Structure 1
Amino acid sequence: MNDNFYKQILNESHLGYAFHKIILDDNNKPIDYEFIEVNTAFENLTGLKRSDVLGKKITEVLPDIKKSEFNWIEFYGNVAINGGSEELEQFSEPLKRWYKVKVYSPEKGSFITTFIDITNERKKINDLYKLSSMSEELLEGLKEENNYQIITDNLLKLAEAKFAIFNLYEEDGKYYTTKVIAGDRGIANKAMNIMGMKVDKKKWPHDTVRAEKIKEKMVTHFPTLKELAGDVIPKALCDLLTKSFGFGEIVVVKIMKNNLMLGDFTIIMAKGKKFDKDSIVEIYATQVGLALISMREEAIISKSEELFKTTLLSVGDGVISVDAKGKVLILNKVAQELTGWNHEEALGKSIQEIFHIIDATTRERSDNPVQKVILTGDTLEQTNQNILISKDGIERPIEDSTAPIKDEQDNITGVVLVFRDYTEKKKRLDEIIYLSFHDNLTGLYNQSFFEAEMERIDTKRNLPFTVIMGDVNGLKLVNDTFGHALGDELLIKVAEIMKISCREDDIIARVGGDEFIILLPKTDSIQAGKLIDRILGLMKNEKIKDIDVSVSFGWATKTDMEQTKGFITKKAEDSMYTNKLIEGQEFRSRVIDNIILAINRKSPWEEAHSKRVSELCVAVGKELKFDKKELEILKTFGLLHDIGKIAIANDILNKPGRLTESEFYEIKRHPEIGFRILSTVKDMSLIANYVLSHHERWDGKGYPKGLSKEDVPLVSRICNIADAYDAMTSERSYRPAMSNEYAIEELQKNAGTQFDPVLVELFLNKVLPKFNLNEIR
């Protein structure tokens, strides 16, 4: 079969298909991809035309793709470069659709995607999430009549309808009442004016015609209003309402429990919009039915038992019930513990005496909530502004709410007061407030507080007003080399030094990952300079795991109110960055020196090994006629090739036995770590790339990138041979030194696989014979 046959099959497939070429930058990182071929289903599923995409890059077709939270280019690039296949469900922000995508690479540098549109399926899942989030509201919502509106509003959202109407049936089934209407109130009022009646809260007689139409199903669809209305609304009026307000399909969802009709939701869709949520609204109606049954069962409870019931429901809180004169009738166990009064002592006493509260702010005696309820008959919602003083003088912040107890004639027969110890909750809230203005790591103020304080103290009486900005040198280097835990330790130490050095009223804030600001009201430039000298002096004596604590500072002083806050802050920032250009580079160079010293302490043979590798590398370079500059680079590279081992645990580096698989994986990280360390230093980027590649192999089976042959930099190939030779002929923690003859045999055996065969021949025939092996030991 020819290619056209397969292309026809592909083009007629319902699966979207696209063939792409990945585009890499100079560091072999994916930065874009090109459309090579697409099928008809691709056009249908994405809305993108074949003629508009072929031969173009994705960033040309969808310019906003790089703004997406999901990195499509990196994801596809990984498959194109490393092979294999991946499958995922992901939302395309530029196309505003959900897709299920399978991607695989037919050859290195290219990839194929096949996909389907799953937007509708995801929409159904989202509906289930909405329903789940409404469940708790349902359980509580029908306990009070005014919450019928919330429940109907939720249904309206779930159904994506124009209107939703909640009808509640009486227990004998002879009448039903339209409790609420959810939707545009203006349109609803206009419709009711046309009908000549107010529908919400209206009581209707049982409609046998309507009941017959909906009896067979839980969810019944009607093309228009007049098919449903039965005898209640004239058909001509139904037509007028439909035409005037764009009513479309009508859906009735029955609310039932144990074959008992409790009510229904009548859903009015917009004209032209189809209702397709039968299952989800049926589940919702079932939940409403459970809530209605619960409400009816609660209503059966005698009102004469209301006081007892309220007490039982509040058993976890302090509960005091009083009669209509405010005399204590019941004091539960928690109330006794919080007030310090036992039940026998409190019985018959005034609530004023038992429940002694003061305002938390003014500390003046608060009005007693029980008296307010007796006078007004209203429920007092929960407050947390009071402090309860117990009989023995203990003060506790409390939350309290108060409600009247009424008889069948709506007369107040008593009051129930419910309260709880608010101490722990207040503590948590205070912590939240603290964290909203403080940096969680250092305990300093955060960006929000800094901005507010900057606004507050920017007044004439605070002049001169100095802003100091500081940037921690080498934080990224520390994080990449030693991990974020050590980076956090560095930030905490910087914060501690600043707090020690500054005055109590100075404002110190951490405003970024490695940036700090100090606000100094009534402080001139000379005083600010002295403060910085004091901070830097303390930092000279501090180290975090062999790393100096170093911060670059800059400052600016406001001396005139015409100078804006933004101007002063920018001036301080520019000053800081000017200093950082010099200090930051010097600091990173010192860090590398410290890292080398630390490696030598960690592994006793590492210093000698690096020197020997460096000498052997230079010797090979000379045979290859490298110039002076190239030889200097080769020498430095040889000394630094294992710098990444600083981040490898001592017990792995110096392990006397064979490494486990996980330990070897850790060792294999050191070229990448070394690359990250050296990349932070100016003029080290070339050596950083050599370090990254010094464990690549001629046959492509090395690490970390799996480069092969000439793709591996020449300098890295030289080091690979020198490193291996010295490692074999040196004593290690896990074995004695091997003989020179054995090492030569291993190099010859692995020439063309692990090592560059031409360089191996040069190394053995031209370099080794000129070396006194004992001297370089």
Structure 2
Amino acid sequence: MKDKIIIITAEKKMEQKLEPLIRELGDRAVVTFSSGEKAAEYISSKAGQIDLIILGSFYEAGVFSYQFAEKIKSKYQLPIIFLNNNTRSFDSKPEFKAADLILSLPENELEQKIFKHNLKEFLNNHQIKKHCQLNQYSLDSLSAHIAVLDENGVICYTNKAWEDFARENALTPAESGLGINYLELLKNADEAENAADILAGIKKVMAQESDLFSFEYPCHSPENERWFKLRVTPYKGEGPFSAVVAHENITERKKAEKELEVLNQEYESIFNNVQTSIFLLNVDNDQKITYQSLNSIEENLTGIKSESIKGKTPVEAFGKEIGSEIENKYRSCLVKKESIEYQEKIDLPGGLKYWHTNLSPIIVDGKIEKIVGTSLDITESIEKEKKLEAIFKASQNISFIITEATDDKKESFIREFSPGAENIFGYSREEVIDTPVSKLHCKSEIRQFPNMHTLIEDNKSWSDEVTLIRKNGEKFTAMFTVYPLSDYQDEKLLTLGVAIDISERKKVEEELKKSKKLYQGLIESQNDLIVRVDSENRFIYVNDAYCELFGKTREELIGSKFTPLVHEDDLESTLKAMKALNKAPYRAHMEQRAMTVDGWRWISWEDNAILNEMGEITEIQGVGRDITHLKETEQALKESQRKLEQLISQTTAVIYSYQVVDGKHEITYLNENVENILGFKAEDFIGREEFHLSCVHPEDREILKEKIAKVTIKDASVDEYRFKDKEGNYHWLYDQQKVISREGGVIKVIGSWLDYTAEHNKHKAKIDKLLYTDVLTGLNNRKCFEEKNTINKLNQKNNLPLSIIKADINGLKLINDSYGDDLGDQFLIKAARILESATPEKTLIARWGGDEFLAVLPQTDKTEAQKIMNKIRDKMDHSYIEKTPVSMGLGKATKFELDQSIEAVLKEADDLMYQNKLLEKRSEKSKIVESIINALAAKSDETKEHAVRMSRNARKLGRRLGLDHSELDKLSLLAKLHDIGKTTISEEILSKPGKLDKKEWEIMKNHPRVGFKIANASSEFSVIAEDILSHHERWDGSGYPRGLKGEEIPYLARIISIIDAYDVMTNERPYTEAINRIEALAEIKRCAGSQFDPEIAEEFIAMLSGE
């Protein structure tokens, strides 16, 4: 429903001029009346929707317009503007006191512009006043600096905190006041970068692209360090506003965080140096408590010197009023005979401070002799807690709730729910309006809240920390403040509740508590060795860690000297180091060996002298740590360095190191051999890149430059080049290098120069052979092709057409798995000889890697290449090793044009080779498997006969168990092949007459896995691969190789295990004699349910018993 502007005038001219001008001002309905009586009826029914009444002069039924205005004003409190052609005379009459504004009716264009401006400004101010009335209670009660912006960024409203801040910081209205464009203000701010970010964030909120923008920033004054948090949210109420800007002072939170960071650093220092605020109290036989000493930290904190209170009671030291309070705390520890802690506020020379004190009694033979106290200055923490308004602003949430109390005093109901409250509680305004406010309270803690009737009656506010609950059920801590909005006699009993989420502050406080607890724990439990000795080096105190390391009780050590425990070679240096304790800063560091329960151990000590008022050393406090491991590591490094230097000194090569930074190299080390070989000194090269390059032969310099350039991507390289010595003669250097690190943009390299000038020509071919020849086959290796650029050298016009044949041995993995790698190597050698014998003499052949070979045939076209490939196949057909055929997949490709890519030709040959392997894969693998079966049969006649008997009994039992035809076939095949994995086992083990030893038994137990691999290699046998793998599993799970149990074991494997066991028992073996059928069946019956499937075992016994 649009807000309305009412025009009441009896003058037609005024109506005609006025109505169009008002309609230009915005989205408002304009209603015009010529009669005051009709206007009054309309206003009565629509008062809540009316924004403004514009009143011309009229007289009706004995009532003047000004009298009409007074009645409307007193009854409805609506804004009224009077119009007349003569403003001055109109304004001079006292009866027009009901007018909020008096305007003249515009006659020309200039007057129209002035009229519209004045009217628009009046309407905006009225809207601001209207919509800020409700917020005034909550916004002025908050310490955040809050401003409300209109759609153009102009400040329309500020709260009291904003105005106070402006006044305290001497800001003029033009810098922060109402009517100022806040966005323009940010554009001209000093901190340009921060201001730009803030400006962009505010604009996003104003454009409704974001629901929240927040930004933390420093705003330091000359006197104080200050931090603020900017929080911008959309204005969700009615009126011409776009955003609410809040600046929260988070200085205290920042200080708390900084304090926490500093405190954590202090803990680390405490742990390593046992430095804390400590005071020591004496308790005599009459239980008189006196001060013995304060450490330097305690002195600094309290402003009290140890000498000034030594031997004094608290009353003597601080006077009766303060001293009595302090002594009562000490006596509480004395009576309880246990550690106590407390907080106290004391005015000491160091100032009025709050302290957290911990007292720990030292009990000897049941009597307290001393009390150790630690003090923590918590003044800032306590003061932060007192400044609650500053801290809870760090919670980042502002909200208010207006509630109405019922007459029965049992419940209050929510009547207004701000956007800030929506953010904190998670409810929308619509969800909570007119519902009990108790839904926001934690049920177990409702008793925290005051009686609203009492607050209103006493006209007092109330504030406390409470536990509230969000829509999602999450509990949180809030600072809740309640203000009465009504008098007790009012019809409605309203209160304003302001809730501030202080969960973040609570987290900081919890961290501080944990830190204090950690602080205390570090004092009470130290892993370092802590001792105190007197001026004669006798122990006064040792901690538990020291006693444990040296295997002595505290009683044994106290009063004895520490020097007998120190190694005789370290005693003199220890005593010498301790002399440093006689002068400022009265500290000393030493490392010594000491005799512990574990023998001689290295101990590092940090000692501090404790002086009396005369400046004399009364005690020495030491904190020690076992560094034996570090010493051993240092010694190992020294020994390693010594051996390395010895090794380098014995070599004839020049050992060097250099580093590369930003593409430039710098030699950092050369051993003395550089002078023996080249005549130069090491320093001639150190850091001299240009000189190093100038010594390389001009034709070889690119080799060195490329070698250095490639260290960014290549870890190692080997190169040869000529290098000039000091006399101008060139040497052939064999340069090997390796990258040892790439860190922080610095690449570090080590290497060696080997001078082989005299043997260069003689040994070059030999070195090439070692580097570029495959040791197994004697062929060139892939390194030869790639590093020596062999193929590209052949890629010449006079060698075209150039053909390439790729070859790959079929089933080499299967052969290696079945027979072992030695037999696999024989296949590789045989394949190499076949390629050599089938290709022309000019062919370049290489072992390309693994089971692949490459043959490059210069001046060979497609037809000739096909003939050569046919010749290779013919030789393969007549080649066997251990009765297993030697087979290779082959592919060829031919290059006819010089610009044709050699890489593309290689790929074509490779693709055709793999296509050929796929076509022949099944038949070739089947041939290999058949040869394996034959090899197994040839190893032992018994194995062959065993398979025949097994097959016969398997089919018979399978039919009895109801297996179908295909399952019977698989069972029969399994009977023949279940032991195929034994082909890799030597005949000596298979035929050994005695018991197998542990190693032989492990070899035997592996045959199911080998059999599984062999069977899987052939599609014909892969159907029983799983059964082969499982035929030695046992029903109770104790079998091998996988320990399967019960029905986890494949069904056919369970059948074959019974048949296999029966056949082994009833036929003589090299390692055991045969038993008769009845004994064998009895054994199977006995093992049913443990080794065998009980149901299959029962059927097998019945079958052989003729049932």
When normalised by structure 1's length, the TM-score is 0.46
Q: Rg larger in 1 or in 2?
A: 2
Q: Which has the higher contact order (CA 8 A, sep 6+)?
A: 1
When normalised by structure 2's length, the TM-score is 0.33
